[in-house]
Chain A
């Protein structure tokens, strides 16, 4: 479980996050949603410590991450897996080396065990026989899958996904969403997904935080969101005809 309390962040005196609190539950796909520019990715980066929040505290299973010393932070970070928007695969390494990288650095596993683990993770995300391909030789969807495989290779307790569907076709997006949800259940991770894709919201949103202009405006589940009663949430959710007809 991840708990955030009163997170605020400004850039050049312009507030981007305003006093955000919430809980991301274990074994669930927790979604942070909202329109572009509402501070979703900034919030995610504050949670994982890539950005320092001006105020507020982040707890990882009751461990204070914000005020922890560098060693504790490193320890917590080694329990984190993250899928980045563009995959963030290392260009100089092939698929296998990319997925194996956290094991190489963070463990003392023998090579054959590492290879088994890498192959298991690649198989788990539906990728086989691509071990020797370079990131430039695979598609966007495959990059995301490799990114997921790399994120889960070290059995993380916390999984973060920043816009996992960006740049993907609707069909691949659904596959990636389902994969994230399956992995969350299978490994019982605390998963936090930043997205503005309504298919993801309706498909995997078990615990949703809606952000609007840097503030948390609403939270609930995907079944609650249709009747949230909040104008800004409705404007976001029912932006297209299909969703409007669903409400009707």
Chain B
């Protein structure tokens, strides 16, 4: 509970003594490139394979001749949009970006770079953390959209190339009883996950004490805590919004 209180206070300090909009704009853009654009390839790769494997495994399990083949695509769509794209990508995001945030801020802490900011009269949490959170909340939803598209394309390609399902059936399945709210729900999840991962990772990095070993420990703790927070919030969001 003490740690949670510290985390809430940490978030509170971010909103006081802010710098100019121009400063944040530049920082958010830099962070967005760093954490968003540079993660696109990994997300596209993982999600393409995820879509492909989901197609193959769904087809393997749907052996009844009474079930039409387009159901495979429908299952892939539902799994991808509802869970795989937002949640699994968030877990990957925590591993790639969250650990980097915690490591970067932790290193800044132990090398007195954060102290240097404070001595200059700059609110270090606001300057360092706020742009990362904003950039994450902008980038993760976009990455989730890319991941969902790549997963469906991956499924389509593997399904068509291996003869599991025809391209027409796949496209029909994807469009069959499509509920656009699923996309809204996935994006809400992405926003929440982005906030949790970036704020928790920055919090863990910000309160690093010691040396290189502690920076490593902070990075690990950031990923572990973020993933737990993502999974818990995933459950609560499903209960609340579905």
Is A220 an interface position by the 8 A CB rule? no
Q: Are A70 and B16 in contact (CB under 8 A)?
A: yes
B168 within 8 A of A: no
In the bound assembly, the distance between CA atoms of A77 and B119 in angstroms comes to: 6
**CB–CB B121/A84 < 8 A:** no
Name the B residues within 8 Å of A74 (CB-CB).
17, 121
Selected from A75, A77, A89, the residue in CB contact (under 8 A) with B120 is A77
A94 to B127, CA, bound (A): 19
A140 on the B face (CB < 8 A): no
A189 vs chain B, min Cβ distance (A): 14
| Bound CA span A48–B121, Å | 10
Please name all residues of chain A whose beta carbon is closer than 8 Å to the beta carbon of B184 when the two chains form the complex: none
B20 to chain A, nearest CB (A): 8
B16: chain A residues at CB < 8 Å are: 70
- Nearest neighbor of B127 in chain A, beta-carbon distance: A105
Is the Cβ of B116 less than 8 Å from the Cβ of A106? Answer: no
A70-B16, A74-B17, A88-B111 known; A105+B122 contact, CB < 8 A = yes
Once the chains are docked, how many angstroms separate the CA of A91 from the CA of B112?
11
The yes or no answer to B125 lying at the interface (CB within 8 A) is no
Report the interface size class on chain A.
20 to 34
Interface bracket on B: 10 to 19
- Does residue B136 face the partner (Cβ distance < 8 Å to A)? no
- Smallest CB–CB gap between A151 and chain B, Å? 9
Asked if A48 contacts B119 (CB within 8 A), the reply is yes
B82 to chain A minimum Cβ distance, whole angstroms, is 38
- B44-87: CB near A (< 8 Å → 1, else 0) gives 00000000000000000000000000000000000000000000
Task: Provide the bound-state CA to CA distance between A84 and B16, in Å.
Answer: 26
**Chain B contacts of A187 at CB under 8 A?**
none
**Bound-complex Cα distance A82 to B111 (A):** 14
Shortest beta-carbon distance from A93 to chain B in Å: 10
Q: Which of B71-116 contact A (CB under 8 A)?
A: 107-108, 111-113, 115-116
Residues of B within 8 A of A102 (CB): 120
**What 1/0 flags go to B3-26 for Cβ under 8 Å of A?**
000000000000011010001000
On chain B, the residues within 8 Å of A105 by CB distance are: 19, 23, 120, 122, 127
Closest 9 CB pairs of A and B: A77-B121, A88-B112, A78-B121, A88-B116, A74-B121, A84-B112, A82-B119, A88-B113, A50-B115
Q: Which chain B residues have a beta carbon within 8 Å of chain A's beta carbons?
A: 16-17, 19, 23, 107-108, 111-113, 115-116, 118-122, 127
20 A–B contact pairs at CB < 8 A? A45-B115, A48-B119, A49-B118, A50-B115, A50-B119, A70-B17, A77-B119, A78-B121, A82-B119, A86-B111, A86-B112, A88-B111, A88-B112, A88-B116, A90-B113, A90-B116, A102-B120, A104-B23, A105-B122, A105-B127
